[in-house]
Chain A
């Protein structure tokens, strides 16, 4: 069962979070860096994600070929993710093999080679990754919407970056980015699983404690000015299906209104699953499913907000019913939003949203990797206390709170409406 939890900061500034869980002989180790696509300037978009790829190309001590085999041979699984505000690397291993992961992460915090040849071969891999995304209508739509929503704030581009920059960046750009952001005082190490805290902490100190601190990198922050009036855009492309994406500006995860919006989201579009591992539940009795899908304005609807450092977006993604025009579907959506703004929701609906969140958290807790994920993830936009008190904070949300945030944030004058219009569709 879940026992010890330890949080400490080493003298070089590395924050360490440890959580003992003894349900399975596994340990999950995560290292988080405060760097993501929002730290990228024009000409360098996609550099954080590309850097993440280069971290798998090896160090002197762990050349690429050995690195990959060692983790797999020991029955481990590993991967890395880059997002708006952060980059993270994890390994989940049989408990007696975790040392390999810790040695590897401490080594590649400063010793990655960024070999020129590897930089160029990875360039085409990432271009291929972007081409795969571009095959998807929803990627094209969401890229256009995101860019329209952020003219000033660096949240304006996709994590993968623009093709022009992927073609032009070079080894020195990537290496400089790596050395600036990959310093212990810009990182959080989170380990969860079947270990004993004192000996784990000793090992972590031994491996990470001597890595020198660097200058704490400044984050790129350009505040997005107020939006005055709805923005509408269309993207055209192949296919027969019309999609709608509607986004509203919402506060960051550390803001108290995030919880109120979470309940509102649950009522409107069904409960969002914040876990990275462990599935969610369906949304067929949410207000928007009933009003849009059941009434045949749409074929599917989903909604949700990401947990971010700066104000970002709540977005609805809708597959328009083949017999409807997107304007009709949008009007049906607006009608439901108007309802939550005009009429108080019932207490029952709020209670239900809380039970749903409790279930989703319970499903996520079965998974050691997911538990390791939360330890560090919450630190990237708030702190671990945010996660621990999530359900308690949700329980405080009232029907009036839900109405207030619906009125305050779901304003059409500050939203972006994106429509994917299929070229093959004859109206």
Chain B
């Protein structure tokens, strides 16, 4: 299927719950005695349940020569436990149409699951077993290694992946964020089964662990089920997550080209280091980014690169703030002969953004968009679970989504101009290209 985008008085008679946004009166938060933080919000309109969460094990602690260790560990968790083989774990899950998955990030490993409501107990039991008692069987580790290596071979041919990887190396030069969490072929080869066991022992534990459950279940039942399955987990050896060094800002524009022969399109990433999620200027930066490269058919960048010049099918900007600072970047896929033309247009747009900021109309449009689209992002159980995780990870407060409209409305044009100038210097950009 091929799509357009990678992405009056109405006849409505709104009968849906007026206040569909989560808030302190319908989010239940409880901390178990071993430290596990449980968040839950019931939704009796749905026959299914979403389970999401994270714990503090991430690629930040990977040694350079074993980069990919956290990722490998997360991928190997479901390959067998003290009670069940890989096949037996998946047989339990797939037989009832349920799922569990893990994903290693820089600071944390996140997990997610989904099932019909009658199978919630089973999913929580399996999740607890996988987290506490993985056995990393040798044969399974070797099978997985071959799969990871194939993934890296495919990555090496992906212009989008390689442009991003090259970009991160430039903006985070000398900082752990410069490293790809899935490692390199030689570092994946260097990881042993003992490394996985050791990584799991050191970093998997209940300190700081969060679990959010959303679906047709009463909060008391959720807490009791999490207590039953995860309440007895003692993780005395769990190490504190490491601190984060600061990064060196660029002193001039740095451009690098990663060659991949035989491709008909090049990927282009241009950008800088942006804020952390908890920085007070987050909302102003987010709205500024939306105007720059998100709103409608991808904001000003989409308008200039795609609509006016016809240079690319996709051209947009994004912000990825987390526990630490994240990239603020523009991405576009262009014909290899148009790389220079597209780069010039994008840099010119960034320059205009930093010099003149945004218009009152643009800001009003984007504020309306942020507020208006909130119910859509929270319609599914997974969407609400993600929101609860967000609240916990960044200390946003249980009333965050109820205050959200006011937070969005409070941003003014001066603040956006200020963050634009603070983060973006058009003569100190990272420019990464991957393609022929």
Q: Which residues of A contact B (CB under 8 A)?
A: 1, 22-27, 49, 52-53, 56, 64, 68-69, 71-77, 79-83, 92, 94-100, 103, 120-129, 131-132, 134-135, 137, 158-160, 194-196, 199-200, 202-203, 237-241, 270-271, 278-279, 281-286, 290, 294, 296, 299-300, 319, 321-323, 352, 355-360, 362-363, 365-368, 423
Contact = CB atoms under 8 A, between A and B. Distances in A.
A345 to B, nearest CB: 15
Interface residues of B, number: 83
A1 B8 contact: no
Interface in B291-311: 295-297, 306-311
A9 B45 CA distance: 31
A270 B5 CA distance: 29
Given A241-B154, A282-B90, A360 B368 contact: no
Given A73-B369, A195-B13, A367-B380, A355 B97 contact: yes
A359 B96 contact: yes
A358 B262 contact: no
A16 B308 CA distance: 36
B20 A356 contact: no
B376 A80 contact: no
Closest 3 CB pairs of A and B: A75-B372, A359-B97, A238-B262
Interface of B: 1-5, 7-17, 20, 45-48, 86-87, 90-91, 93-99, 101, 114-116, 143, 146-147, 149-150, 153-154, 156-159, 260-265, 295-297, 306-314, 333-335, 365, 368-376, 378-382
A75 B1 contact: no
A56 B4 contact: yes
Given A75-B376, A299-B146, A362-B47, A95 B309 contact: no
Chain B contact residues: helix, strand, loop or mixed: mixed
B14 A96 contact: yes
25 contacts: A23-B45, A24-B20, A53-B4, A74-B368, A75-B371, A81-B4, A96-B10, A99-B8, A120-B310, A125-B310, A125-B313, A128-B335, A132-B265, A158-B2, A194-B14, A194-B15, A199-B11, A202-B11, A285-B91, A299-B146, A319-B150, A322-B149, A366-B382, A367-B379, A423-B262
A98 to B, nearest CB: 6
A103 B9 CA distance: 11
Looking at chain A's contact residues, the main secondary structure is: mixed
A353 B46 CA distance: 21
Given A1-B45, A202-B11, A290 B87 contact: yes
B313 A126 contact: yes
A80 to B, nearest CB: 4
Given A68-B296, A128-B311, A238-B262, A363 B365 contact: no
Contacts, number: 259
Contacts of B93: 281-282
B374 to A, nearest CB: 7
Contacts of A241: 150, 153-154, 157
Contacts of A99: 8-12
Which of A27, A80, A202, A282 is the most central at the interface, judged by chain B CB atoms within 10 Å of its CB? Answer: A282
B97 A75 contact: no
Contact of B47 (A24, A25, A365): A365
Given A124-B311, A128-B335, A355-B96, A81 B3 contact: yes
Residue of A71, A82, A131, A132 ringed by the most chain B CB atoms within 10 A: A132
Most A Cβ at <10 Å: residue of B8, B149, B296: B296
Contacts of A126: 313
A40 B290 CA distance: 38
B165 to A, nearest CB: 16
A238 B263 contact: yes
A237 B154 CA distance: 13
B42 to A, nearest CB: 13
A312 B382 CA distance: 34
Given A124-B310, A366-B382, 4 more contacts: A79-B7, A194-B14, A241-B153, A282-B93
A392 B5 CA distance: 35
A22 B16 contact: yes
Given A125-B310, A125-B312, A356-B94, A285 B87 contact: yes
Given A81-B2, A356-B97, A423-B262, A103 B379 contact: no
Given A73-B372, A284-B94, A362-B48, A121 B308 contact: yes
Given A125-B313, A296-B146, A363-B48, A281 B98 contact: yes
Contacts of B1: 81-83, 159
A24 B311 contact: no
A24 B379 contact: yes
Contacts of A52: 4
